[in-house]
Structure 1
Amino acid sequence: MNTKVWKVDKYVDNLENNPQVVDAAHFLQENEVVALPTETVYGLGGNAKSDVAVEKIFAAKGRPSDNPLIIHIADKKQINAFVTEIPEKAELLMEKFWPGPLTIIFKKKAGVLSNKATAGLDTVAVRMPDHPVALALLKKCQLPIAAPSANSSGKPSPTNAQHVIDDLDGKIAGVLDGGATGVGVESTVVDCTEEIPVILRPGGVTKEQLEMVIGDVHLDAALSDETSKPKAPGMKYQHYAPNAPLYLVNGSQSFLQHLIEEKRNAGLRVGVLATEESVGNYTSDVVIACGKRSELETVAAALYETLRAFNQEKVDVIFSEIFPSTGVGHAIMNRLQKAAGNKMIIE
């Protein structure tokens, strides 16, 4: 398959009628799959009503079919076609955070969306992305679009079009290149079918921000439970992994340096994921700064780019500093733990 690449300037007027957007929308209407930029990561979009399109998403990614997909919309009114009700707390969250990096889980109407898109669950995960190119494409194609991250399953999510091409060239119909993404980690997923909403995946909107709008919000205790059937994306299987084994290090910088030296003495090429504040404190084959510890949003924005960079450096093992599990740090640690397969070395 020849994968088309459409470059689009997100700052131009009348994006909805941009020839590249129109062409990409036509592909979606024909049940092909197209990668599109969002404010979090690039998504791999397909018609959420079509089993054919959804199967192409799973096939391109190599993604297990029991992992549900997020449905992307351009207008809040679209969800009335495929959800049974909009709880009051969900309404408040939509008003505050849509468009934006928040996915909300609703009870779904039967017979509207492909059951393959929702993995046979009676719920559906929905969000409205905050990216002009994504919104223009969604408006133009007039479809609810199922879209997981546009990468090979298990690998770091793509934050620019080249990442998508690296993983999926020849496997998908096209890539709508709208430049680099912003937030860097996927959307927060919150289940609003419960009396007290539950965060199933931490992301770009923090628990603290949600609670300022709707009061108490719980964190799902089963975030790392590999035996439960997932209600939302990112709840099952190892994700975001670089090619080399990744270990999180809970300890001092001197302890991490000791680990580096052990591996280098064994003849291994060692990578270190640090921050701008600490990058100069390590002696190793490859040390990459991933944002600032004092500004965790910069760590989130750079995380997947950094994990992919270690692949280019062809390291044999990677050690990573850890981060506080508060605010966006909770999303960073969630992604790092999944990338590492929960491998942590404690001093």
Structure 2
Amino acid sequence: METKRWSVDKYVDDLGSYPHISQAADFLINNEVVAFPTETVYGLGGNAESDDAVARIFAAKGRPSDNPLIIHIAEEQQLSSFVEEIPEMATRLMKAFWPGPLTLIFKKKEGKISEKATPGVSTVAVRMPDHPVALALLKKAGIPIAAPSANRSGRPSPTTADHVWDDLNGDIAGLVDGGPTGVGVESTVLDCTEPVPVILRPGGVTKEQIEAVIGEVRVDPALADVDHAPKSPGMKYRHYAPDAPLHLVDGSKEFLQMLVDEKKAEGLSVGVLTTEENQDFYQADFVVACGKRVNLNTVASSLYDALRKFNHTKADVIFSEMFPLEGVGHAVMNRLMKAAGHRVINS
């Protein structure tokens, strides 16, 4: 399959009339699969009402078939066509954070969204992305769009069009290149069907921000306990991993350097994932910095690109620093834990 690639300037006025947006929207309407930028990562979009389109998403990604997809919309009015009810707390959250990196889970209306997009669940996850290209494309298509991250399943999520191209060129119909994304980690997923809403995946909107709007919020115990069955089916799978095995290091940078030295003595090529503050400290074969430790938002926005950089090296093993569990740091550590398969070395 030839993958059509369109370049779109997100700062162009009236993006909806832009020819590339119209062409990409036509692809979606005709049940083709198109990747597009959001404020978090690039999404791989398909008509959420079409079994054929949703099946193409799963096939292109190599995604497990029991892993539900997030539905993307451009206008809140679209919710009423496939959601049973909108709790009052969800209305407040939408007012506060939509468009933005917050996915809300509702009870779904049967027969509206493809069952392939919501396999084995009675709920549907929905968000409105905060990106001008995404919103223009969604409005032009005029249909709900199912869109997981636009990467090969298990690999780091894509934050640039080139990341998508590396993974999916030839396997999808189109790619809208709208430049790099901003937030860098996926949206927060919040289950609004419980009396006390539950965070199933940490992301660009923090627990503290949500609680400031609606009060108490719980966190799925599976996020802290690997032996606890996750409430969200997709959270049981390995994600975000570079090609070489990744180990998180809970200790000083001197301890991490000792681990590097041990592996180098064994004849292995070693990579280190760190931040700008520490990148000159490590003596390793490959040192990659992802943002600044003093600003975890920069770490989040750079994380996936940093992990992908190791795939262009000959690293046999990668060691990574850990980050504080505060604010977006929860999302960063969630992604790193999954990328490492929960391998942590303690000093």
TM-score bucket (shorter structure): over 0.9
Secondary structure, counterpart of 1:284 in structure 2: coil
The answer to whether 1:98 aligns with 2:98 is yes
| 1:263-296 deviations in Å (ceiling 9; x for gaps) | 1111111000011111111111011111111000
Aligned match of 1:285: 285
| 1:274-327 deviations in Å (ceiling 9; x for gaps) | 111111111110111111110000000000000000111121110000001111
Secondary structure, counterpart of 2:221 in structure 1: coil
**CA distance in 1: counterparts of 2:257 and 2:119, whole angstroms:** 44
8 Å Cα contact 2:72-2:129 kept in structure 1: yes
Aligned match of 1:299: 299
Q: How many pairs does the alignment contain?
A: 346
Secondary structure, counterpart of 1:137 in structure 2: helix
- The aligned amino acid for 1:302 is S
The answer to whether 1:231 aligns with 2:224 is no
8 Å Cα contact 2:222-2:230 kept in structure 1: no
The answer to whether 1:74 aligns with 2:74 is yes
The answer to whether 1:345 aligns with 2:345 is yes
Q: Percent identity?
A: 67
**CA distance in 1: counterparts of 2:246 and 2:133, whole angstroms:** 34
**CA distance in 2: counterparts of 1:9 and 1:193, whole angstroms:** 38
Secondary structure, counterpart of 1:307 in structure 2: helix
Query: How many Å apart are 1:81 and its aligned residue?
Result: 0.4
Secondary structure, counterpart of 1:280 in structure 2: coil
8 Å Cα contact 1:69-1:232 kept in structure 2: no
**CA distance in 1: counterparts of 2:233 and 2:22, whole angstroms:** 30
8 Å Cα contact 1:105-1:189 kept in structure 2: yes
- Give the TM-score normalised by structure 2: 0.98
Moved more, 216-225 or 282-291: 216-225
The 1:228/1:111 distance shift into structure 2, 3 A limit, reads farther
**CA distance in 2: counterparts of 1:114 and 1:341, whole angstroms:** 31
- Give the TM-score normalised by structure 1: 0.98
User: CA RMSD of the aligned region, Å?
Assistant: 1.1
Moved more, 277-286 or 41-50: 277-286
Secondary structure, counterpart of 2:261 in structure 1: helix
8 Å Cα contact 1:154-1:241 kept in structure 2: yes
Secondary structure, counterpart of 2:155 in structure 1: coil
The answer to whether 1:58 aligns with 2:58 is yes
- The aligned amino acid for 2:70 is I
**CA distance in 1: counterparts of 2:307 and 2:155, whole angstroms:** 9
Aligned match of 1:268: 268
- The aligned amino acid for 2:115 is N
- The aligned amino acid for 1:53 is A
- The aligned amino acid for 2:87 is P
- The aligned amino acid for 1:252 is S
Secondary structure, counterpart of 1:222 in structure 2: helix
- The aligned amino acid for 2:2 is N
Aligned match of 1:119: 119
Secondary structure, counterpart of 2:189 in structure 1: strand
| 1:211-246 deviations in Å (ceiling 9; x for gaps) | 10000111100236578475364x121000000000
8 Å Cα contact 1:226-1:236 kept in structure 2: no
8 Å Cα contact 2:324-2:330 kept in structure 1: yes
The answer to whether 1:130 aligns with 2:127 is no
**CA distance in 2: counterparts of 1:232 and 1:148, whole angstroms:** 14
The answer to whether 1:319 aligns with 2:319 is yes
**CA distance in 2: counterparts of 1:340 and 1:301, whole angstroms:** 19
The 1:229/1:274 distance shift into structure 2, 3 A limit, reads closer
Aligned match of 2:210: 210
8 Å Cα contact 1:268-1:317 kept in structure 2: yes
Secondary structure, counterpart of 2:176 in structure 1: strand
**CA distance in 2: counterparts of 1:119 and 1:262, whole angstroms:** 46
Aligned match of 1:222: 222
Query: How many Å apart are 1:120 and its aligned residue?
Result: 2.6
**CA distance in 2: counterparts of 1:40 and 1:26, whole angstroms:** 24
The 1:240/1:51 distance shift into structure 2, 3 A limit, reads same
Aligned match of 1:177: 177
Query: How many Å apart are 1:131 and its aligned residue?
Result: 0.3
Query: How many Å apart are 1:249 and its aligned residue?
Result: 0.1
**CA distance in 1: counterparts of 2:49 and 2:230, whole angstroms:** 22
8 Å Cα contact 1:121-1:231 kept in structure 2: no
- The aligned amino acid for 2:83 is V
